[in-house]
Amino acid sequence: MNTWSDIAAIQPMASQIITNSIIKDRISHAYLLQGARGTGKEDIAILIAKVLFCENKSGANPCLACNACKRIDSGNHPDVHWIEPDGQSIKIEQIKNLQKEFTYSGLESDQKVYIIKGADTLTANAANRILKFLEEPSKKTTAIMLTENSQSILPTIRSRCQIIDLKPLNPLHFQQKLIDAGLNDATAKLMSALTNNLDEAIKWSQDEWFAGARKLMVQLVEAFTDNVSDVYLFIHNHWMQHFNERKQMEQGLDLLLLAFKDILYYHIDHEDALVIFAPDERLEKLAMYYSQDKLISILQDLLEAKQKLKQNVHPTLVMEQVTLQIKR
């Protein structure tokens, strides 16, 4: 997305708020962009940076052709700094290094921009450290913080930022984009339930690892009803072998969430929402085995398992615990 018109197509309110600020020369010293993956956080951050550095902007839009715009696109602008989680979190050492940059003048102008991805992963010490900048803003320094989970950010940080809420994308619109890109209807529906990122969805749809992950997920769901005594063997001999990285495990839990949601949707005659199973005898059998109350409990257990992964609990322990909970 290269212009505010592109942003407005998916985030009209955010586009209007920011472009009004640009036109009135009232760009905030700190923004907090909060929204799910794929809702345009990074695109908005990059556009704000381009506006601040562009040599030939027209109204609220950067020219996209000048040296500054091109360097921001390539990630090589010396006065635009990106901070990303180091592992599971943004650590105090990263913020200390960033603060050193605060003391220097911009290499090519007095303007500086700092974009902090995954701002909700700031450790407590790092979060307190970043407050120094937010409490004593420089007129020529702009911070842009990106998060999927704003409630995990310190209230003192939130209160010092202009908060921009990004709305979830229209799933039907996204599904159509996937179909236009060559995915069949069923795959487009599944991918739109897993991600809002077009490139990511297309990549997963062509990935043999993902096809294997989906197959294992179905086998595990059926094992809970057909071979419950062998579930732990399946987890250790097959599941953990395939989902051997933390992000892969998160994808596995996401697939399980969708599968158990399908069973619940079948219970309540909401078959148009199915994304994993077809409304056939297999799904009918699963619905007979699980009550609605049990399914709601399982969905809660899976969500808690995802949270434990984010809290750095060992993936094998997380999977063993949620397996035990589902078996009860």
Q: For residue 137, what pLDDT is reported?
A: 66
Architecture of domain 207-327: Up-down Bundle (1.20)
Tally the C-alpha atoms within 13 A of residue 147's C-alpha that lie toward its C-beta.
Answer: 23
Cα distances (Å, whole numbers) of residue 143 to 65, 139, 239, 263: 24, 11, 41, 44
Q: For residue 84, what pLDDT is reported?
A: 93
Distance CA 145, CA 103 (A): 20
* CATH code linked to domain 4-165: 3.40.50.300
Q: For residue 131, what pLDDT is reported?
A: 87
pLDDT digits (tens, 9 = 90+) for 37-64: 778 999 999 999 999 999 999 999 999 9
Helix axes 246-267, 208-226, angle to 10 degrees: 50
pLDDT, averaged in runs of 10, over the chain (328 residues): 87 95 93 89 95 93 94 92 89 89 69 92 90 76 91 90 90 88 93 86 94 95 86 93 92 96 95 92 92 95 91 90 91
Question: Do 122 and 153 touch, CB atoms closer than 8 A?
Answer: yes
Distance CA 234, CA 220 (A): 7
pTM, rounded to two decimals:
0.71
Domain ranges of the chain: 4-165, 207-327
Q: For residue 62, what pLDDT is reported?
A: 95
Give CA 318 to chain center in angstroms: 21
Q: Where are the alpha helices (DSSP H) in 24-146?
A: 41-53, 67-74, 92-102, 124-135
Q: For residue 106, what pLDDT is reported?
A: 59
**Dihedral (CA of 210, 215, 217, 220) sign:** negative
Q: For residue 105, what pLDDT is reported?
A: 64
Q: What is the three-class DSSP state of 104?
A: coil
